[in-house]
Amino acid sequence: MSTVSPTASGNVIRSEFSSDPDMAEIVTMFVDEMPAKVEKLTQTFAAMQFDELRRIAHQLKGSSGGYGFSELGKAAGSLEHCLMMHADGVATGDPVTEIRSEFERLIDMCKRVRL
């Protein structure tokens, strides 16, 4: 039985494959590694290393769906897209504000990931 973290702002997010015996072991690994990933994302954002942030978001986008967390994958994709737009100078809004908004949304979801 998992408990909801006090920092989470919504319901827990569970893997679409939670009942698949082939996947149980690696979904557990993914969930267990989540706090370290949140920590890494937070540090990278704080240091404004946007290229590195984009790389992590890209990887998360690619892998989350595979573990049955497609919504998380979409949030990571939005952050990646936003970072790309600003890197390319296509976006018009304030970069830090917009990136922060996408970043916070992703972190919030990461914290709600459960088995």
45 counts as binding another protein under rule CB under 8 A: no
44 counts as binding another protein under rule CB under 8 A: no
Taking CB under 8 A as the criterion, the residue among 58, 78, 85, 108 binding another protein is 58
15 counts as binding another protein under rule CB under 8 A: no
In sequence order, which residues have a C-beta less than 8 Å from that of residue 81 and are 6 or more positions away? none
**Binding range to another protein, per CB under 8 A, among 5-13, 64-72, 85-93, 105-113:** 64-72
**Binding range to another protein, per CB under 8 A, among 1-9, 53-61, 83-91, 101-109:** 53-61
57 counts as binding another protein under rule CB under 8 A: no
Closer by beta carbon to another protein, 70 or else 101: 70
112 counts as binding another protein under rule CB under 8 A: no
Structure token digits, residue 1: 């039985």
Report d(CA 97, CA 91) in Å as an integer. 12
Separation in Å, CA 77 to CA 6, 49, 65: 26, 17, 11
SS (H, E, C) 18-61: CCCHHHHHHHHHHHHCHHHHHHHHHHHHHCCCHHHHHHHHHHHH
Backbone angles phi, psi at 19, to 5 degrees: -100, 5
Binding residues (CB under 8 A) for another protein: these are 22-23, 25-26, 29-30, 58-59, 61-67, 70, 73
